A and B are shown apart, each in its own frame.
Chain A
Amino acid sequence: MAKKEAVQMNIFKNSDELQEKEQKEVIKSGTMEQKPRENRKNEVDTAHILAQKQREISISEFFLKNRHLLGFDNPSKALLTTVKEAVDNSLDACEEAGILPEIIVVIRQLAENRFAVSVEDNGPGIVRNQVPKIFGKLLYGSKFHTLKQSRGQQGIGISAAGMYAQLTTGKPIRITSKIRSQSEAHMFEIQIDARKNAPVVLREESVKWENNGIPKTNGTKVEMEIEANYKKGSHSVDGYIFQTALANPHATIIYYPPEGEFVKYERVSETMPIEAKPIKPHPYGVELGIFIKMIHETKARTLRQFLTSEFSRVSPRIAEQIAEGAGLKADYKVSSLTPSQIELLYQAIPKVKIMAPPSNCLSPIGEDLILSALKRQFKADLYYAVTRPPSVYRGNPFLIEAGIAYGGELPSEEPVEIMRFANRVPLLYQQSACAMTRAVISTSWKSYNLQQPKGSLPLGPMVIFIHIASVWVPFTSESKEAVAHYPEILKEIRLALMDCGRQVAMHISRTRRYMDQEKKKSYIEKYIPHIGESLKEILDLNKTEEERINTILKETLEKSRTKIILKEAE
């Protein structure tokens, strides 16, 4: 809940600023046009105008002016964000319905900077009358008020993309959806009335949905036309799809890029990820603002009821201790709490020892699946993955998973590649600001036989996969691109990396020893004939004698070599 609220509050905060700015503009233009004598009357008029304007500002309209906040700051990022929002929605929908996701992403270039994006899934479909609201209204979604590990940004993302489409190309967003129990799919073309934050349905009809002659039983397809720019590389849609496939081994993803061949990432797992359970907030993790809000909104009557019912791990006994810490009785009425009492109560929380939150709310990808995904997507010599036990930062449960692919066809002289994920969503930007990158840099890779320039990423043929799963991933900013540097999180990542590092070190020394022995073996084969031939020349030996020398030497040297190997093995 806290997360959603934060976004919402922030938007309102920004729109306040916006209003202020507009007010100033209005005042400025007013004074310029009017004579000083008429000032008084004019002020009244301005206030009226302002009052009107204040009512008219909506979130949708706010978006139109502040689209960079939601990832639409430039044309290439807009393409990525659009695809990302749609794919995230599809994956969430499938998982909630217990369906193994199969997602088809198609991007077609229509003009130099105009693209058609289509994302189709095999999810449960959307009930007909919900479609316009989900896609045509900002801040409307199913996961609004739960604290649960999820991909996030639901409620704003896809409709924001639709809004972006409308803004840049004027084309409506088109949704085709079918639920299993109905024989036909329904197709909508929707625009958003930015002022009212309400959908405008331009077209609505029932259609037959077939793919290559095969009727589609259930699923949703979102299509839109946007102004965008397509780039290749790891920060692009290509990279996003690649990494999404990596972190979602249970999903099959088919991707048709604007140029070149389509790519199919076949699922490597037939089991659904463990369902993440929603949990109530832990007292240690709650912020004062949220705490106040919870107190105002609770249905509980007494302090004891409030604390035990709204938070996890708060027993009546703990509730009493917290109340006591604030100098209050546990059966004090919540509705009579004064603001200063609330603050005292809030300050009392850290002084009481409360059990760590339950960790069954987390859904790791799992070591086996990370391994399978790495194997599917990288041609390497060594693969390793580790899932750390759950841990807690500021009352929020989280867990870290790390995986590596080493050697093989990976580039050997360059810094290692880091692939960062938060709740299975790839983080493509702001790598250097992220706690995951910090953890990689601050791990001493030299002790694992890798080169590492001071204060930099290690060098070598390696890809590092890092995943944080949490009910609330602490991002450094609204754009959700980098994880904040909490010591508990850094420590867990480092522990996971060290585990990976040990495997790499073992692999490297194993490879080196093997190469060494191969070299020595080839040495024997290469140079022994020269000894035979030299002795033959000096001593005028015959061919048989020469061959005898070579055979004996090969045998004795091989024997001594194995002796050395056995010795090393001891």
Chain B
Amino acid sequence: MSREAILKKIKESAREIYSDIIHRKSPKMAFPLRSLQNVKYDPKVGFFELKGRKKSRTLTVNTVKTFAQTLRMIALSKELIATDDIATKREAYYVSKNWGDARFNEQMESDTVMDDVEAFFQVNREQLGFIPEEKGGDVAGKLFIIDEDRNTGKKLKIDCTKFGSGAYSIPIYVEHLQFETDAKFILAIETAGMFQRLVKHNYWKTANCILISMGGVPTRACRRFIRRLSDEKKLPVYVFVDGDPYGIGNIYRTLKVGSGNAAHINEFFCVPNAKFLGITPQDIIDYKLPTHPLKDVDIKRAKDSIKNDPFFNHYPEWKRAINQLLDMGVRAEQQALAKHGLNYVIDVYLPEKLKNPEKFLP
């Protein structure tokens, strides 16, 4: 959506509220309900879609504070778009300190209101001028990224093989980037530690791939970057995370189909063609990996995944795998492969797995 279109949308909504007030009607704001209960999964679509349930916030004595704060946030967004400026979530929180009684006491509160505004307009918050604080992710391997010089406007061609022991850092905004590559696939990795090992041994060269470190649950920018790269260059995406309910249920699921909380923008911030390389529960057995017992939170998360998550519910393979993990009662980290030698992962595990990508969990 263009800046003008968003500005128009903001003004239209405000006009509606204004008119309600003048006509002594109670003004209302309706938001899609942001939770797993309000999303559905269809593999043809490829990501979590909203089911259409909405919560509406009518201005009453009880909601007057949140209502005022939401409008304040919209006004800030309008200001940011109009002046072509941006504010981080943290900065927006500090801006609120000028709002007197309507100020936020914790960033948690301002983040929630920001999410509301985002869902209200059904656009991603970057388009509203709000950017996240967190880093996008690291990239190394056979990839040229074409960016532009902020001062001269000249094209910049960044070679992701030339960062030595370092890596290219995914920016917060990735829509303008262009790609050149002859790599065969993208390997998305959970931990910075594993990423470092693969970079150090130039695994991207051996396997002819692009390595991306997600550092836990991937940020929106990271998801969008992988999505665009994968779509435009027709590259398969393999995901390599810890063999535990968090790696499966949170990191992989969010990368592939998005989250319940940000369902209104999942369409753009997910990688529907991602596949799960490992560590699978079966890997734990096949590779005789050292394990840790599942913690109570792990067990709860795994059970929740099978019960409430529309994605896992859709795939019997996943249900089986998660039940298998629950039955074993253990989890295994990526680094557990080091038991068989530090470079076992490069020499044995990844080559063996990559021989049969069709066997990857969906």
Contacts and interface: CB of A to CB of B under 8 A. Distances in A.
A531 B71 contact: yes
B205 to A, nearest CB: 54
A402 B77 CA distance: 63
Contacts of A528: 64, 68
Contact of B22 (A520, A527, A552): A552
Given A539-B11, A539-B15, A548-B22, A534 B61 contact: no
B4 to A, nearest CB: 15
A530 B24 contact: no
A527 B10 contact: no
Contacts of A556: 24, 26
Interface string B48-76: 00000000000111101101110110110
A549 B18 contact: yes
Q: Which of A523, A526, A531, A561 is packed against the most chain B CB atoms within 10 Å?
A: A531
A560 to B, nearest CB: 6
Contacts of B79: 537
Overall SS of chain B's interface:
helix
A433 B78 CA distance: 71
B101 interface: yes
A553 interface: yes
B348 interface: no
Contacts of B75: 533-535, 537-538
Contact of A523 (B10, B14, B61, B78): B61
Nearest to B72: A534
A274 interface: no
Interface in B81-109: 99-102
Contact of A531 (B10, B67, B78, B101): B67
A263 interface: no
Nearest to A534: B71
A290 interface: no
B21 interface: yes
A500 B63 CA distance: 38
B60 A557 contact: yes
B110 to A, nearest CB: 14
A69 interface: no
B194 interface: no
Contacts of A535: 14, 17-18, 21, 71, 75
A533 to B, nearest CB: 8
Interface residues of A, number: 24
A265 to B, nearest CB: 47
Interface centre among A524, A530, A533, A548 (most CB of B within 10 A): A530
B13 to A, nearest CB: 9
Interface string B236-273: 00000000000000000000000000000000000000
B101 to A, nearest CB: 4
A528 B68 CA distance: 7
Contacts of A560: 60-61
Contact of A530 (B15, B22, B71): B71
Given A526-B101, A552-B24, A538 B61 contact: no
B17 to A, nearest CB: 7
B11 A538 contact: yes
Contacts of A564: 61
| Main DSSP-derived SS at the A contact region | helix
A200 to B, nearest CB: 79
Contacts of B99: 530
Contact of A553 (B21, B65, B69): B21
B18 A527 contact: no
A538 B82 CA distance: 10
A539 B14 contact: yes
A212 to B, nearest CB: 61
B64 A561 contact: no
A61 B61 CA distance: 79
A552 B72 CA distance: 19
Contacts of A557: 59-61, 64
A534 B68 contact: yes
B14 A538 contact: yes
Interface in A514-570: 520, 523-524, 526-528, 530-531, 533-535, 537-539, 541, 548-549, 552-553, 556-557, 560-561, 564
Contact of B61 (A531, A548, A549, A561): A561
A547 to B, nearest CB: 12
Contacts of B102: 526-527, 530
Nearest to A553: B21
Contacts of B26: 556
A531 B21 CA distance: 10
B1 to A, nearest CB: 17
Nearest to B60: A560
A538 B78 contact: yes
A534 B79 CA distance: 11
Contacts of A548: 22
B22 A524 contact: no
Contacts of B72: 530, 533-534
B22 A531 contact: no
A524 B14 contact: no
A523 B64 contact: yes
Nearest to B14: A538
B10 to A, nearest CB: 6
Interface string B317-336: 00000000000000000000
Interface string B211-251: 00000000000000000000000000000000000000000
A548 B102 CA distance: 20
B57 to A, nearest CB: 12
A480 B28 CA distance: 70
Given A523-B61, A552-B24, A557-B60, A538 B68 contact: no
A538 B101 contact: no
A523 B62 CA distance: 8
Contacts of B24: 552, 556
A499 B75 CA distance: 56
A332 B45 CA distance: 112
Given A524-B61, A549-B18, A537 B68 contact: no
A527 B15 CA distance: 19
Given A526-B65, A538-B78, 5 more contacts: A520-B62, A526-B102, A533-B75, A552-B21, A560-B60
15 contacts: A520-B62, A523-B65, A527-B64, A527-B102, A530-B68, A530-B71, A533-B72, A534-B72, A535-B75, A537-B78, A549-B21, A552-B21, A552-B22, A557-B61, A564-B61
Interface of A: 520, 523-524, 526-528, 530-531, 533-535, 537-539, 541, 548-549, 552-553, 556-557, 560-561, 564
- Nearest 4 A-B pairs (CB), nearest first? A534-B71, A530-B68, A527-B68, A538-B14
